[in-house]
Amino acid sequence: MEEETACIANGSEYYLPALDFHVPPQRLYHFHHQFKLPSTRNANFLKAVKWSPDGSCFLTSSDDNTLRLFDLPDYGSGGALGSGLSFPEDDSFTSRLSIDEGESIYDYCWYPHMLASDQASCVFASTSRDHPVHLLDSVSGQIRCTYRAYDSMDEITTAFSVAFNPSGTKLFCGYNKVLRVFDIHRPGREFEQYSTLTSTKDGQTGILSCLSFSPAHNGLLAAGSYNRTTALFAEDNAELLFVLHGQEGGVTQVLFSRDGNYLYTGGRKDPYVLCWDVRNTAGILYKLYRSAENTNQRIAFDIEPYGRHLGTGGQDGRVNVYDLQTGEWVTNFQASFDTVNGFCFHPSLPLAVSSSGHRRFCMPEDDEEHLDVHVEENCASVWNFSCTWIGYGSDGNHHDNTKDDASTDASIQGNSRDSEPVEMENAI
């Protein structure tokens, strides 16, 4: 990874995988034992999963208030377990870190310039109920620092969503009708506060449940709210630009396209991911269906590195893939028999990680054996896709040279981030 990043910085080519979704993916790794709790009447389940920006590891959150970090061995060059839904008895390997946050985890996000070779950059932010925002070290699992917001009664108030700006200098946190912005190098209770309402009480109301910055470095911040709206703000002064209406449920995820021209939003108990053109917000461009009508769970979606396709989980255990240029369905594959609540593409390899499971309510007279029927479905899996490697020059332009490869090839992975990371040593 160090060698490849240096190579790109010197002006040589890098490659991105164009995934072939017509070939079913192979399950590379699988994990379920370490998410089990001793009592089946209080079954644990996963809530989310996210790759680190450099792709060296992924981080899961689960209902037991725990964040678990899994390193990707040899950057995914291991043998596949197969495409079927038969599960190995043992986990592929054990998580390297297990961090108990004490209360329900609302959100977490990686520092955008994280590199495993630079320990100072190996951090992520996490927010949980009745706690300040923690900046956690992904090497030691220790808290580097905390960011504390206080309400009018001088009591700590909890952030419901967190996101670093693209340069990694500030941490944006979503609260009830309020955005608070922390300088990452100045932990404590110093922050800038911006109301999401205008002077005439228009704007975005409700709890800000999710945040996302445009990867095009155009200064746009999208914020979703549980009142079923999505708002776009200017990053530098949090000026409200416009509010989007159309989601059937509370918005649980917002995500920009790779070029920053389109915004995708998904909601709770809402079967559609909506596509918006941020240059012309008159209406919805198209809707992408997913099975999510009967669950209050967040169901995540993601865009693959090449930027052409979107994959989303669903209540039916399938991952559906859509072509973003046409809005047409491409394919799906059965990732689990339970709800697939998390799905995330690797940033530079033809891999993806999924998480599955949902909250189960049981009565005292229920048969305990019946409750344990699908306990192995509370799991995380890493998937390997067939792909064609597309070459790019140091100017970011596509070259004609390609390489067909049906497996993961770590020797040509690259990192296309073009902005320099800030120093993290002072955030302690």
Which band of pLDDT confidence, cut at 50, 70 and 90, is reported for residue 239? Answer: very high
* pLDDT at residue 212 greater than cutoff 60: yes
pLDDT of the residue at 409 = 44
pLDDT of residue 376: 60
Highest mean pLDDT among 22-36, 85-99, 361-375, 405-419: 22-36
Q: Which amino acid is at 237?
A: N
What pLDDT was estimated at residue 153? 87
Dig out the tokens for 259 from the structure: 């070029």
Percent of the chain with pLDDT over 90: 70
The single-letter code of the amino acid at 181 is V
User: Mind listing the domains of the chain with CATH numbers?
Assistant: 2-195+290-412 (2.130.10.10)
Return the exposure string of 106-115: e unless at least 16 CB atoms fall within 10 Å of the residue's CB, then b: bbbbbbbbbb
Q: Is the pLDDT of residue 281 over 50?
A: yes
The pLDDT-based confidence of 394 (bands split at 50, 70, 90) is low
Q: pLDDT category, 416, cuts 50, 70, 90?
A: very low
Q: What is the pLDDT of residue 81?
A: 59
Cα–Cα distances (Å) from 57 to 69, 81, 104, in that order, read 7, 19, 23
Residue 41 binned pLDDT confidence (cut-offs 50, 70, 90): low
User: What DSSP designation does 8 have?
Assistant: H
d(CA 242, CA 168): 25
What integer pLDDT is reported at residue 296 of this predicted model?
87
Average pLDDT over residues 23-28: 95
Give the mean pLDDT of 325-347: 95
State residue 369's pLDDT score.
Answer: 45
Using the predicted structure, report yes or no on whether residue 421 has a pLDDT greater than 50: no
Where is average pLDDT lowest: 56-60, 176-180, 181-185, 200-204? 200-204
- For residue 206, pLDDT over 50 is answered with yes
pTM, 2 dp: 0.88
CB under 8 Å to 225, separation ≥6 — which residues?
A: 196, 204, 205, 206, 207, 208, 209, 231, 250, 251
CB 174 within 8 A of CB 125: no
Sign of CA dihedral 286, 291, 295, 296: negative
The model's confidence at residue 198, banded by pLDDT at 50, 70 and 90, is: confident
Per-residue pLDDT at 329 exceeds 50: yes
pLDDT for res 420:
45
**Residue predicted with more confidence, 356 or 414:** 356
Question: Is the pLDDT assigned to residue 364 strictly greater than 60?
Answer: no
Write down the pLDDT at residue 392: 75
Is the pLDDT score of 365 beyond 80?
A: no
Confidence tier at 171 by pLDDT (50, 70, 90) = very high
pLDDT digits (tens, 9 = 90+) for 90-134: 899 999 999 999 999 999 999 999 999 999 999 999 999 999 999
Taking residues 295-323, report their average pLDDT: 95
**Average confidence score pLDDT of the chain:** 86
What confidence tier does 40 reach under pLDDT thresholds 50, 70, 90? low
Q: DSSP secondary structure string, 240-251?
A: EEEEEE--SS-E
Residue 424: per-residue pLDDT: 55
Beta bridge partners of 320: 312, 332
Mean local confidence (pLDDT), 148-162: 92
Tokens 């911006």 belong to residue: 194
